A and B are shown apart, each in its own frame.
Chain A
Amino acid sequence: MKGFYRLVNIESIKMLKVVLLLCIASMATQLLLLNRELNNFTSHSMIERFENTYVASGAIVIFLLSILLFCVYFLLTIYSHYWGSKSIYTYLTLPIKREAVYFSKLTAFLLCIMPLFATQLMTIFIGYELVVWKIANVTEGPWMNNGLFLSFIRSESLQILFPLTLNGIVSTWSIIIALATGLYYGILCERSRQYWGFLLIITAIVIILYVISDRMGSPLYGYSNWYITSVSLFILSSFFIWHGMKIVKRGAIA
């Protein structure tokens, strides 16, 4: 356990600098974009709801981009074991269980993605105050009481990122875990040349895209059961972990 803890720490430290840089860059860019969106606002402009202003500013794309960059960086950290120093051999000969090697990377990924989400949440809070301040400065017009809460329940993108209902929370975390385990499993499959594993990864991607489009859809057409799609993603994630661990244990990735 101690070895695992130490490995998680080592892996996390490696990624943390980049993660913190991504956090700062993401927050700053989003607030700049939001400010730019508000710059055109005059006393004769239409006052939009916060969630519409936020999405229109393109800020949400920046967050998705930061997640994508983080995933790419995670990939690079793993592939770096094979380049230059070939440290993968050192890893596999460490006097700790290979399960610990496997889980340390996965845990580090999940630990390091958390600051990105926390920063995103802070950005939304600051962004909301920025919009309220700007509107109050430029116009005496109306504003929405409890507008931030309403944004969180009415905006499809905020509902997916930060759900307030149990089924939404389960669904979102099933997506995050499937992304993390699937990404890692993909690397292991490629390294061990077990390409058939990609079929299951594609299945997971299809389910994730289906869930996102379902949750982004209009209430008019109803929704599928998010628990069922979450369970299917959890099952796939469990397989990715089980088989991924098997590949690492066999040393097939060397």
Chain B
Amino acid sequence: MKKIKKHIAIIIFFISLFIMISLLTFVYVSKDHSTFYLKDHKGDRSVLNDITVQGELRDAYHTVHFTIENNKVTKNTKIYSYPISDPTNRSWFRWMETTLDGVDYEILGEGEFDIYRNRRKTSDVPQGWSHVKTDIHPSSAVNQVELGLGLAQVGESIYFTVPTTSAYVGNNHIYEIEFVDPSQRISRTDGFTEQRVIATYSLEQNGDSTSKTIDVLGLQGVGDHLALIKREGNDLVIREFHTDGEEVGGTILDNFFLDVETRLPYTAYLNEADNIITLSFSHKRDEFKVVNIEFAHGEGFEIIDVVDVTFEGELDENHRLVEMFYKNNKLYVANTLKDMTDERNFIYSIGRPIQFFLHVYEGNELLYQGEIVTDMNDDLIRFQTAPFSAGGVGYDYHEHRNFVHISFK
């Protein structure tokens, strides 16, 4: 007893240290104990053999990086040193923003446009500003267009054309954009460099009621070429430009917009390795018409497939996520859906569980449906159990896990 008393300080210290280290190690190690597996709902998962899916499930405090390769799911959990401000990676101003090669761009203006590179400092690329003067003007009331769709990248170069509705007339251009340091900008025109016009195309027929109207939908870089995507009357028209501005061909999908349910704008996805652009147009509620266009050197663009995508469930509009990828005649779709099979009575609709699915289509046939099962719905516990008398529950998106950065290879 005397001996213990002689060393009591150090004994107490080591016991405390042992308790703290073992309990905190237990907590730290349990970061890998989250649920994360692929559950087959329909078909054979071997159809995923051709691709690799990567992504993150994250909140502001931690992220689970996952990879699905050869049908197997692997995950790696990381706790952020500093909680991140925007875990949802949501674009609040989707119509004027785009991301090319991991760099964010913002486009602002009407008639004349300011293009900002990395304005919110989301990547290490230097910030940039560019000003574009145009030769187009509206002839009637103008509807909102998605300006972000007008920006494209080929190699290191950025190109821009102004997406327009059929209300615009004049000559539209494809510009090669040169960025300058935005700190040099004092007024709108200071530091302004005239952007190089590489190609010009006319919108004059919009003023002629006997001709097909033209909507410029966007510009996409594929391989070392640019695809100008337009709607002419009811046709979907793809024009092919070389980066020196030479128009080298194109392709048309006749009467694609004849069905009035097929709506603009579209979302574009790129399979860079196979030079395939996938254009997804909304069609009715929670359905898509997906046009897949392949670019082959020497042969130009060819529409290889049109797929009707329908889901059994409702898209989750709070955190809308749809990613697509076309490879080997199959369309791979990753998306979140509300779980409508859950029969519980949800007083707060946000409490309804979300499911993350992988869908594989060949033609219009759904070959495979698999779900990545996670604990993300546990975060909705308050919304699922709050009584009506609670009078509302606060939602903090920092404390809810969501899927982001989904990519296919």
Contacts and interface: CB of A to CB of B under 8 A. Distances in A.
Interface residues of B, number: 47
Interface stretch (B4-12, B212-220, B231-239, B355-363): B4-12
A147 B23 CA distance: 15
A154 B8 CA distance: 36
B373 to A, nearest CB: 11
Contact of B16 (A11, A118, A143, A222): A118
A46 interface: yes
Given A114-B16, A153-B79, A9 B8 contact: yes
B326 to A, nearest CB: 35
Interface string A187-224: 00000000000000000000000000000001111110
B20 A121 contact: yes
A47 B385 CA distance: 6
B378 A122 contact: no
B20 A114 contact: yes
B61 interface: yes
Contacts of B34: 145-146
Contact of A12 (B9, B28, B33): B9
Contacts, number: 129
B345 interface: no
A114 B12 contact: yes
Contact of B375 (A16, A44, A145, A152): A145
A45 B385 contact: yes
Interface string B365-388: 000000000010011011011110
Nearest to A20: B12
A157 B118 CA distance: 34
Interface stretch (A78-86, A88-96, A164-172): A164-172
A219 B87 CA distance: 10
A223 B378 contact: no
B82 interface: yes
Interface string A1-28: 0000000110111001000000000000
A3 to B, nearest CB: 14
A222 B82 CA distance: 8
Contact of B9 (A13, A147, A149, A166): A13
A168 to B, nearest CB: 8
A162 interface: yes
Interface residues of A, number: 48
B16 A115 contact: yes
Interface string B66-89: 000000000000011111110100
Contact of A223 (B27, B82, B384, B387): B82
Given A9-B8, A118-B20, A142 B384 contact: yes
B359 to A, nearest CB: 26
Contacts of A143: 378, 381
A148 B387 CA distance: 24
A136 interface: no
A6 B387 CA distance: 61
Nearest to B375: A145
A67 B80 CA distance: 28
Interface in B14-32: 15-17, 19-20, 23-24, 27-28, 30-31
Interface of B: 5-10, 12-13, 15-17, 19-20, 23-24, 27-28, 30-31, 33-35, 59-62, 79-85, 87, 375, 378-379, 381-382, 384-387, 390, 393, 398-399
Q: Which 3 A-B pairs have the closest CB atoms?
A: A12-B9, A114-B16, A219-B83
